[in-house]
Chains A and B, each alone.
Chain A
Amino acid sequence: MSKKHLYVLTSVLALIGAAIFIYKTLVLNFPISAIQTTEVWRVEATINFQARGRPVKLNFFIPSSSEELPTYEQSFVTRNYGFVTREAGVNREAIFTIGNASGKQVLFFRTKARRLKQDFNPIEAPTPRRTPSGFKGAELHAANSIIEKVSAQAADSDSLVSLILAQLQRARPGDEASLLLGNLRTSKRVATTAVRLLRHAALPARVVNGVSLKDERRNAALVHWIEVYLDGRWVPFDPKDGTRGIKSDRLPWWRGTASSVTATGASNIRVSFAVTKEFDLALRSAVRHARLSDGRLMDFSILSLPLQTQQIYKILLMVPLGIFFLVVLRNVIGVKAFGTFMPVLIAMAFRETQLLWGVILFTLIVGIGLSIRFYLEHLKLLLVPRLAVLVMVVVITMMFLSVFTHNLGLDRGLSISLFPIVIMTMTIERMTIVWDERGAAEAMKQAIGSLIIATICYVIMSNSTLEHLFFVFPELLLFVIAVTLLLGRYRGFRLMELSRFKVLAVRP
């Protein structure tokens, strides 16, 4: 009776999943594989602010199109705000206005950019007006001294720019360059200081603020570089290494040192940028087609969500798949591990750390945590305070490992902060108990089991083909549920049990 019920349920789930999948592939032509035909990026800016029950006027820079990186399909989500776009000097800006607004406000701006050329070409322009550098007092002395030093070494304007940038990059505490840079040595600060120095050396220069299009990010930080007016053209330079030329994998958003938003009647303004790689053109046209023919289906699709949320779901949709494989490894293979879902959480952390580093960092944290836990045993602490101390130790261990690996120049070590702290703590505690009660061998066996499951889940969860499939066809999850339900009734031997019961086998 209950068996029949289960089979009916699983076949219904599988049928629904299959029907939607087939409809989407055959009728709506959704692409099954993620082949990247051109590099198309979607950038979304979200402006959050607090309105104070008065008229609001908000100016926001928006990117203009360029030959190397044309932008198109720009759109705004503004609710009841009126808006206009206009040229503002070398930039473009959008002006949002409303007569009266109060409370939390959100405005969205979206654009697409397609990368056509490898590098940015210098931009031809009439000679700009001279802008004073604005150095005074000690800063003026420092600037003079730097310019004097590099002028003596420079062969031409090009090398002068490179030398100035190198000075800033190599700034040591106490020298002139660090006096100009101050304490907050952000990339924006470096770019701004470089521009002022160049102006001081009578070379017109400006800061470019942009968004990096290298990785998909939910909260992308702005990148900054500079442009110097040489021989009638604005030539881009990278302040990081002082080289001429910038790859067109950064979208220039606006030029100058102004902030991206200026506003009246608003406070607590925060701007965040999300970057995603657009799926291949096939998907785009499929979605557009689907919108026209069957709007309702698309309204309920994740592709209609804001970019940041889509990015989250791209990862979240892989979690059920990881958990499914965990079920297989535990109930069919019989791998022993700590905690029910701990390995999947570790696998998610591996997404950021990458596999090798993930395994190394996990082993280090658990190893160090374990030795400190054994020491704590001598202090005879009660359970909850002991766990609390362990959480603190895990956090401090993570911090030290970050600092240590960073000093060795291994930046992967920084991603250690993404490990689930509480889960790691419980793992360490469980491991000590098992170690005490069942011996070190059993503890190691379960720890290695956990790592093996985490590794397998990571490999599956980070597979880009699967990621694409589940993102475009989330209905496939119904299939996964169906198979997991069936596994729930799997009564056969676990693979590991075979060797345990081997002596009982009937001789054939």
Chain B
Amino acid sequence: MFGLAKRLNAAGVVGINRRNADYTLAYNKRKNYPLVDDKVKTKKLAQDAGLAVPDLYGLLETQSDVARIGQILEQHEEYVIKPAQGSGGDGILVLSRGPRGYYRRASGTLMSEDELSYHLSNALGGSFSLGGQPDRVLIEYRVNFDPVFQKIAFQGVPDIRIIVFLGVPVMAMVRLPTRMSDGKANLHQGAIGAGVDIGSGQTLTAVWRNSIVSEHPDTLNPVSGVQIPQWETLLDLAARSYELTELGYQGIDIVLDKDRGPLILELNARPGLNIQIANNAGLRHRLELVQHNIDHLDTPEDRINFSKAHFSVSG
């Protein structure tokens, strides 16, 4: 047991305790947390900085707003419903217009108007927020993901998670929804995570439910060696997100839209650790390297170049 811990330590694997003590507690100021914990605020922040985000169709703030939902949804074909302070993807619904009185979920099942209203009032009441405090609900543009993922994602929206430390992108993965994850891109809900080479933007190994896989369980297509389009833009978004929130250690979630290109979905002040499994590499050595060199890295360009020079698999 101690041998295993020692070997994991040698591989630079970061556990929850270390992430909390050495990175999130040390580099993320508490006053900046609300910027990323509330998706309404994150969206506004990104928009003000000129970064692309999915359009906001509507915002529900009180229980009486629930009555307006039909009116908001009627103007669009497809939409995503998100609690502003939901954690870990809880409470997110990916919907499209269904037969009269119904909505169609990403998985293809139908949801009645009643069920939707109930879900919305639960979300407003705080069922999905971290401390159970009352919440707001966003209704936003549903991403039409880039065809590159058609073969390796089952419904839902695949997204790209990049861990950014002091503005330097240190590790990346793409999260692919599966039948099990109900169109959601969260690993603990059953999505696949595939590591992405920082230098080239190509997918590496993939992890599904804590074990390494080489093909998508639903589409059976290989998940490694896929080139992610516009990789440079993604790295640029990631590097600039540090100036946005001033959180030293954060995860940025980006989606690739067919028409609109990369959009920032959300930022995360306590990004998960499964990214290490997806990349088959520990985070700590990379984080320490950034800590030692951060003084010479002034501009986002410097940081991207540093990242490519040191964290590429090919490179």
A-side residues, CB < 8 A to B, are: 331, 334, 380, 382-384, 433, 437-438, 489-495, 497-498, 500-508
Q: How many B residues, CB 8 Å from partner?
A: 40
A382 contacts B63, CB within 8 Å?
Answer: yes
Q: Which residues of A contact B189 (CB under 8 A)?
A: 437-438
Return 27 A-B CB contacts under 8 Å, by A number: A331-B17, A380-B115, A382-B125, A383-B126, A433-B127, A433-B128, A437-B189, A489-B21, A490-B21, A491-B15, A491-B17, A491-B21, A492-B18, A493-B9, A493-B13, A493-B15, A494-B15, A494-B16, A495-B1, A498-B4, A500-B277, A502-B4, A503-B280, A504-B11, A504-B276, A505-B4, A508-B3
Whether the Cβ atoms of A501 and B277 lie closer than 8 Å is: yes
A491 to B20, CA, bound (A): 8
B90-A437 in contact (CB<8A): yes
Chain B, 108-121, contact with A by CB distance < 8 Å: what is the 0/1 string? 00000011011001
Determine how close the nearest CB of chain A comes to the CB of B176; give it in whole angstroms: 19
B47 at the interface (CB under 8 A from A): no
**B8 CB-CB contact with A under 8 Å:** yes
Cross-chain contact B117 with A505 (CB below 8 angstroms): no
Minimum CB–CB distance from B50 to chain A (whole Å) comes to 34
A504–B282 contact, CB under 8 A?
Answer: yes
In the complex the two chains form, is B15's CB within 8 Å of A503's CB?
no
Contacts of A497 in B (CB 8 A): 15-16
Tell whether A504 pairs with B280 under 8 Å between CB atoms, given A383-B127, A494-B15.
Answer: yes
Q: Is the interface of B mostly helix, strand, loop or mixed?
A: helix
Binary contact readout B78-92 vs A (1 if CB under 8 angstroms, 0 otherwise):
000000000000110
Contact flags B261-276 to A (C-beta < 8 A → 1, else 0): 0000000000001001
Q: B44: CB under 8 A from chain A?
A: no
Q: Which residues of B contact A495 (CB under 8 A)?
A: 1
Interface contacts beyond A437-B189, A501-B15, A503-B211: sample of 8 additional A-B pairs, CB < 8 Å, sorted by A: A383-B121, A383-B125, A383-B127, A492-B18, A493-B13, A503-B277, A504-B277, A506-B10
- B interface residue numbers (CB < 8 A to A): 1, 3-5, 7-11, 13, 15-18, 21-22, 63, 90-91, 114-115, 117-118, 121-122, 125-128, 188-189, 210-212, 273, 276-277, 280-282
In the complex, chain A residues whose CB is within 8 Å of the CB of B118: 380
For the complex, give the distance between the alpha carbons of A508 and B127 in Å: 47
CB neighbours (8 Å) of B21 from chain A are 489-491
Taking a contact as CB atoms closer than 8 A, the residue among A334, A384, A437, A505 that contacts B8 in the complex is A505
Distance between B170 CB and nearest chain A CB, rounded to angstroms: 16
On whether the beta carbons of B11 and A506 are closer than 8 Å, the reply is yes
Minimal Cβ-Cβ distance residue in B for A502: B4
CB-CB nearest 8 A-B residue pairs: A383-B125, A380-B118, A505-B7, A491-B18, A493-B15, A506-B11, A491-B21, A437-B90
Specify which chain B residues have a CB less than 8 angstroms from the CB of A503 in the assembled complex.
Answer: 211-212, 277, 280
Chain A residues with CB under 8 Å of B281's CB are 504
- In the complex, what distance in Å separates the CA atom of A451 from the CA atom of B273? 27
Q: What's the minimum C-beta distance from A375 to chain B, rounded to whole angstroms?
A: 14
Give CA–CA (A493, B9) in the complex, Å. 9
Bound Cα distance from A507 to B9, whole angstroms:
12
Residues of B within 8 A of A438 (CB): 188-189
CA distance A505 to B91 in the complex (A): 35
Q: Separation in Å of the A490 CB from the closest CB of chain B?
A: 6
Closest B-chain residue to A500, C-beta based?
A: B210
Q: Which residues from B are CB-within-8-Å of A494?
A: 15-17
Complex contact B22–A491 (CB within 8 A):
yes
Tell me the complex Cα distance, A252–B83, Å. Answer: 66
Taking the nearest CB of chain A, how far is it from the CB of B178, in angstroms? 14
Q: Is the CB of B15 within 8 A of A508?
A: no
Asked if B1 contacts A498 (CB within 8 A), the reply is yes
CA gap between A382 and B125 in the complex, in Å? 7
Q: Known: A491-B17, A497-B15, A498-B1. Contact between A506 and B7, CB under 8 A?
A: yes
Chain B residues with Cβ under 8 A from A505's Cβ? 4, 7-8, 11
Determine the distance from Cα of A141 to Cα of B127 in the docked complex, in whole angstroms. 67
Nearest A residue to B22 via CB reads A491
Contact of B13 among A380, A384, A490, A501 (CB under 8 A): A501
Q: Which residues in A have their C-beta under 8 angstroms from that of B282?
A: 504
Across the interface, which residues of A come within 8 angstroms of B16, CB to CB? 334, 494, 497
A115 to chain B, nearest CB (A): 51
Given A438-B188, A491-B18, is A504 in contact with B13 using a C-beta cutoff of 8 Å?
yes
- In contact, A380 and B114 (Cβ under 8 angstroms): yes
Question: Is the pair B8, A493 in contact by a Cβ cutoff of 8 Å?
Answer: yes
Closest A residue to B123 using CB positions = A383
Please name all residues of chain A whose beta carbon is closer than 8 Å to the beta carbon of B273 when the two chains form the complex: 501
- Output the least CB separation between B135 and chain A (Å): 10
Q: Give CA–CA (A506, B128) in the complex, Å.
A: 38
- Asked if residues B17 and A490 are in contact (CB atoms below 8 Å), the reply is yes
Residues of A within 8 A of B1 (CB): 495, 498
Once the chains bind, are A492 and B17 in contact (CB under 8 Å)? yes
Chain B contacts for A489, CB-based, 8 A: 21
Distance (whole angstroms) from the CB of A497 to the closest CB of chain B: 5
Whether A493 touches B276, Cβ cut-off 8 Å, given contacts A383-B126, A433-B128, A508-B7, is no
Shortest C-beta distance, A12 to chain B (Å), equals 22
Q: How far is the CB of A435 from chain B (nearest CB, A)?
A: 12
Are the C-beta atoms of A382 and B121 separated by less than 8 Å?
yes
Nearest neighbor of B180 in chain A, beta-carbon distance? A439
In the assembled complex, the CB of B29 is this many whole angstroms from the nearest CB of chain A, namely 15
Among A383, A437, A493, A508, the residue within 8 A (CB) of B17 is: A493
Interface centre among A384, A433, A494 (most CB of B within 10 A): A433
Q: Once the chains bind, are B117 and A384 in contact (CB under 8 Å)? A: no
Q: How far is the CA of A372 from the CA of B199 in the complex (A)?
A: 54
List chain A residues, Cβ under 8 A from B127. Answer: 383, 433
Cα–Cα, bound, A334→B15 (Å): 11
**Cα separation A497 to B211 with both chains bound (whole Å):** 14
CB closest residue in chain B, given A377: B118
Chain A residues whose CB sits within 8 angstroms of the CB of B126 once the complex forms: 383
Question: Which residue of chain B has its CB nearest to the CB of A495?
Answer: B1
The docked-state distance in angstroms from the alpha carbon of A299 to that of B21 is: 42
Which residues on B sit within 8 Å (CB–CB) of A380?
114-115, 117-118, 121
Q: Tell me the nearest residue of chain A to B125, going by C-beta.
A: A383
Task: Contact check, B117 vs A504: say whether CB atoms are below 8 A apart.
Answer: no
Chain A residues, Cβ within 8 Å of B18: 491-493
